[in-house]
Chain A
Amino acid sequence: MKMISLLKKSVLAAVLAGFCHSALAELHIIIPGGPGGGWDTTARSVGEALMKSGLESRTSFQNMSGGGGGRAIAYMIEIGNKKNDILMVNSTPIVIRALSGAIPFSHRDLTPVANLIADYGAFVVRNDSPLTSWQQVIEQLKVNPSSLKFAGGSARGSMDHLVAAQAIAAAGIPGRNLRYIPYDAGGQAKAGLLSGEVELLSTGLSEALELANGGQARILAMTAEQPVADYPEIPTLQSLGYDMSFTNWRGFFAAPGTAPEQIAAYNDTLQKMLQTPEWETVRARNGWLNLYQGPEEFAAALAEQEQELKQVMLDLGFIRN
């Protein structure tokens, strides 16, 4: 019995620890996915930088996975207006899932606060692959579009697929002809590439760099607008003469109808945070690239990305007009 009461107390303590500090917090961040994912890391790292630099006395986090991120948005819409200190972290998939109808909301249902960091699409081959450049990939695809298979860590119609389709479309090859092989997770897609099941991997630049730094793979190209300062040797599609760019943003949203002064205050804090050495530590640790955009710029970028992705999804037949 003693053991049980001890167990019970500890569970209670764990539950309380999970909930209570959120009630006292100054800034509360909603994470639309589980612990350990990309959104989770972003939110907790931002929180860490904010607290360590003294910009916020307290930050708390709430993981709310489910519904492809839709549950967290529904929560923001429902509860956000009652408490003024809630932000939600999100990224490009919200745009794609809204377009495909997987979630019944879009970024328009929330108030954009700011974009903080960027990742780009990247195309990776095995170290021993005969393919040495992106142009070679394009030439081979032009001869026989089904001769190369692209792996991705998510289902058809998700980010990895759309980016690869967009990239080959920029070279005049219909995106529909892309052979995209979906894997259940990023790790399994990597295993698929290394095991020789597929020739190319479509993934984010940060994951591609992990593979390349491990000496197992080479990055052929990536989708940033301009070469990234930290990695000038990786060619962008633009620099290779293909008119295509794609940015996987990671930013913050507030509840719908949040007052502009409040949004400005959030931006003020976030901008200050970006200048701190604490943020630089966090950023370098995760290999992130800064891409700050204020509310107006962020909203405009979202609208533009939505337009572009809509076109790709129409071309690929994932949505109809």
Chain B
Amino acid sequence: MLDGILLGLSTALQWQNLLYVIAGCFVGTFIGMLPGLGPITAIALMIPITYSIDPSSGMILMAGVYYGAIFGGSTSSILINAPGVAGTVASSFDGYPLAKQGMAGKALAIAAWASFTGGTIGALLLMLAAPTLAKVSLSFQSADYVALMCLGLTAIAAFSNKGTFLKAMMMTVFGLTLSTVGIDPSSGTERFTFGNTDLLDGISFLLIAMSTFALAEALSNVLKPEVKQANSEQPMQIGSIRLSKAEVKEISPAVGRSSILGFIIGVLPGAGATIASFMAYAAERNLAPKALQEKFGKGALRGLAAPESANNAACTGSFVPLLTLGIPGSGTTAIMLGALIAYGIQPGPMLMQDNPDVFWAVIISMYLGNIVLLILNLPLIPYLARVLIMPKAILTMMILFFSLIGVYLVSFNTFDLFMMIGFALVALVLRLLAFPMAPLLLGFILGDMIESNFRRAMMTSDGSLSIFWDKPLTLGIMLLAIVVLAMPLLSFLRLRKAALKQ
């Protein structure tokens, strides 16, 4: 392995490869910051360029765009509540409240440091354990994914504060329902499309996130004149970007845990950065002490640090199945797989022997890339955060503009714009009635996966439910889900018992 690392270092440190790392990170950050636009388009358009350069350089460039976009995506999530990429949707749950409280600088700094740590820990794990992890990822079958998604669904509890549990449940079901629109992934029949071909491919996650968060937020700003008044008297604060020692101490364990959790989820070909960030957020809230739990969703530092480190670690983790098995876990890695094959490089178990330079150079470039991203992003924070100093009226218009354009630039379909407006209006009403929006997104993103994996598990087991407890792995995850579900109930019973005794 030492040979490999040295080979990777010597390849990645060539001046042109250093330039490709910087270029990739720069393009990625920029694409990520623009609401809606993800790395997939940028990488697909970049492919013709990469054919004319060395395979290692090409992969270094594309990987840089990929993790750069997830790094930069948090900026718009935090500042204007509009997710830059799907993987940073969860970052707005606590990042945006922090920005609203005048701590935008701090929130962006936390996002940058958490992303950096997540990416670096991810690269470290990728370097040390890629082949072993690849085997682990292959032990996950459909039933295990179902169990994992059930564990993910227990996060609803984490998204519902006191007294809103029922509302959170209702929103989850709403999300699950929305995920069934389009061509049924198993039987191929159309569902809830009302004969409209624009609904055949289902509704995009980013569209829903953008309309329920960014658009609905902008609209409710218009509806609340008192906010405007308070704002005109004293402009929004950006705050310092320095983190105090106490704050670092508070988020460090969360960052560490989420990086590892995110990486593991990223390694699974059926999950990805978005699911990783949601699960890390939920896990941190469940682990947090009671007093801190109440702060989640209202600007908890951990609530921002967790998804930010998880999504970057997951992005790095997705290179495990790509490089060692030749299996792409997401649309972006599928494009990179295509590029590798076009180079005449066969990803798979033999890659480390046949093309060690590519394998190691990509990994080493990730360390460099994360440092580049940190250097690139930290100094920009004060400038980026000035967005918030703009008059509310202009800022609201800008949010509307960027959100709509962001979704349109992905699909080029005007129907999506109408759908966004519809969702934003529904979300606005639901917000006024104090329904939480995060469970809707959780239900939507997990719904698809639960359904298709459940049906697949049923098909492979000939309809026997025992597939969900026959394998130790499945059983283990299922039991964990039950424990997580039962925990709040148990502590509630204990509290009541104590209260009765008194």
Nearest CB on B from A47, distance (A): 9
B201 touches A65 (CB 8 A): yes
A63 touches B412 (CB 8 A): yes
Scan residues 151-169 of chain A and give those whose CB is less than 8 A from a CB of chain B: 154-158
B198 touches A35 (CB 8 A): no
Per-position 1/0 for B331-359, Cβ under 8 A of A: 11111011001101011111000000000
A36 touches B384 (CB 8 A): no
Residues of A within 8 A of B402 (CB): 11
A214 CA / B188 CA spacing, docked (Å)? 31
User: Is A104 located at the chain interface by the 8 A CB criterion?
Assistant: yes
A3 touches B386 (CB 8 A): yes
A10 in contact with B30 given A1-B390, A216-B325 (CB within 8 Å): yes
Scan residues 41-67 of chain B and give those whose CB is less than 8 A from a CB of chain A: 41, 43-45, 47-48, 51
User: Is A188 located at the chain interface by the 8 A CB criterion?
Assistant: yes
A66 touches B390 (CB 8 A): no
B48 touches A48 (CB 8 A): yes
B197 touches A214 (CB 8 A): no
A35 in contact with B460 given A7-B34, A182-B185, A214-B349 (CB within 8 Å): no
Closest to A215 in B: B350
**Which of A34, A156, A195 makes the CB contact (< 8 A) with B139?**
A195
Residues of B within 8 A of A191 (CB): 137-138, 269-270, 321, 325, 327
Among A67-75, A226-234, A260-268, the one that faces the other chain is: A67-75
Residues of B within 8 A of A103 (CB): 197
B342 touches A285 (CB 8 A): yes
A197 touches B350 (CB 8 A): no
Residues of B within 8 A of A104 (CB): 197
Scan residues 49-90 of chain A and give those whose CB is less than 8 A from a CB of chain B: 62-68, 70-71, 74
A64 touches B186 (CB 8 A): no
Closest to B402 in A: A11
B349 touches A216 (CB 8 A): yes
A62 CA / B411 CA spacing, docked (Å)? 11
A70 CA / B346 CA spacing, docked (Å)? 34
User: Is A142 located at the chain interface by the 8 A CB criterion?
Assistant: no
A35 in contact with B141 given A14-B409, A158-B188, A214-B347 (CB within 8 Å): no
Closest to A146 in B: B462
**Which of A2, A179, A216 makes the CB contact (< 8 A) with B348?**
A216
Closest to A12 in B: B405
Nearest CB on A from B71, distance (A): 17
User: Is B217 located at the chain interface by the 8 A CB criterion?
Assistant: no
Q: How many residue pairs at the A-B interface have CB separations less than 8 Å?
A: 174
Closest to A68 in B: B200
Per-position 1/0 for A176-208, Cβ under 8 A of B: 000101111111101110111110000000000
Closest to A285 in B: B342
User: Which secondary structure characterizes the binding site on chain B?
Assistant: helix
Residues of B within 8 A of A182 (CB): 185-186, 188, 452, 456
Scan residues 3-54 of chain A and give those whose CB is less than 8 A from a CB of chain B: 3-4, 7, 10-11, 14-15, 18, 34-36, 40-41, 44, 48
Residues of B within 8 A of A140 (CB): none
User: Is B329 located at the chain interface by the 8 A CB criterion?
Assistant: yes
A68 CA / B325 CA spacing, docked (Å)? 29
Which of B137, B326, B328 has the most A CB atoms < 10 Å from its CB?
B326
Size bin of chain A's contact surface: 35 or more
A192 CA / B350 CA spacing, docked (Å)? 20
Per-position 1/0 for A121-165, Cβ under 8 A of B: 000000000000000000000000010010000111110000000
Nearest CB on B from A14, distance (A): 7
User: Is A211 located at the chain interface by the 8 A CB criterion?
Assistant: yes
B201 touches A192 (CB 8 A): no
User: Is A210 located at the chain interface by the 8 A CB criterion?
Assistant: yes
Residues of A within 8 A of B321 (CB): 191
A110 CA / B174 CA spacing, docked (Å)? 40
User: Is B164 located at the chain interface by the 8 A CB criterion?
Assistant: no
**Which of B48, B187, B346 makes the CB contact (< 8 A) with A214?**
B346
Residues of B within 8 A of A63 (CB): 412
User: Is A286 located at the chain interface by the 8 A CB criterion?
Assistant: yes
Residues of A within 8 A of B41 (CB): 35
A102 touches B200 (CB 8 A): yes
**Which of B187, B348, B456 makes the CB contact (< 8 A) with A157?**
B187
A35 in contact with B325 given A3-B384, A68-B183, A155-B185 (CB within 8 Å): no
Which of B142, B197, B383 has the most A CB atoms < 10 Å from its CB?
B197
Nearest CB on B from A36, distance (A): 4
Nearest CB on A from B265, distance (A): 15
Q: Which A-B residue pairs are the 6 nearest by beta carbons?
A: A214-B348, A35-B44, A67-B197, A155-B188, A36-B335, A36-B44
A-B CB contact pairs (8 Å), 9 listed: A4-B387, A11-B34, A15-B405, A36-B40, A63-B412, A183-B452, A185-B328, A191-B269, A214-B350
A1-B386, A15-B409, A34-B331 are known; give 20 further A-B pairs, CB within 8 A: A34-B40, A36-B331, A64-B412, A68-B183, A70-B197, A71-B198, A71-B413, A104-B197, A149-B459, A182-B185, A183-B452, A183-B456, A185-B328, A187-B328, A187-B334, A192-B141, A197-B456, A211-B326, A216-B349, A286-B342
